[in-house]
Amino acid sequence: MTDTRNNRLADRVLALAGLVQALAQVRRIADTGQANAAVVDTLLESVFRIDAESTEAIYGGRASLRPGLMLLRDYFGGKGHDAQLPRLALAVMQLERRFARDHDMGERVRRGIQAQAETAERLGRSHPEVLAALGSLYADTLSHLRPRVLVQGNPHYLGQSDVVAEVRAVLLTAVRAAVLWRQMGGSLLDFLLRRRDMAATVEALLR
């Protein structure tokens, strides 16, 4: 039973790592107009890989989530350098709760992702055509829910359609991570009641 609880907590922490990893890229794109291509590709993989046996498998392995785990370690250690990340993470978690209750929207998002699967396989998940389609999908669905996820950044880049599309596509991967977090039993109470356990799990996953 203890092993099962620990494995579930590890899955939960990995999903949370996926969430903050996505939001860190959102912040980077909004500020600089560029993302870490390898990290974004991993995040997009999680959107197209709907069925997998674990959170780790959805992201293609624990190593792919190391940047997010390191961000979590800084956060739990009181060393987080970006005050906007916790705010964005909370907004995405709240948005996901609204999304989970809107079954029609959930079906629209699922169909929209499936419609891009062949193109993503052929051209690559980070191809501009795929990013544009996923960005439009987010704009047409999740962006209409409240609370809206407000991303601050450099107006020069946020005025460019391709940058906005990539921001929205990566936000879609953040919502995917929030869905996984909830499916694994995660809730905001964990930050009050299981903070120490989560911090210990982060350290164990980074070893």
pLDDT per position as a tens digit, 78-113? 998 888 999 999 999 999 999 999 999 999 999 999
Q: Is the peptide bond before 67 cis (omega within 30 degrees of 0)?
A: no
Give the pLDDT score at 1: 47
Residue keyed to tokens 């699922």: 110
Q: Rounded distance, CA 35 to CA 32, Å?
A: 8
Contact 46, 171 (CB under 8 A): no
Indicate the number of domains in the chain: 1
Identify the CATH number of the domain in which residue 198 sits: 1.10.3890.10
Residues of the chain with pLDDT under 70: 1-5
> What pLDDT does residue 2 have?
55
Q: How far apart are CA 158 and CA 154, in angstroms?
A: 6
The token pair that represents 92 in the structure block: 């995405």
- Residue 142 lies in domain: 2-206
- pLDDT at position 3 is 61
pLDDT at 81: 84
Q: If you ran DSSP here, which 8-state letter would residue 188 be given?
A: T
Largest CA distance in the chain: 53
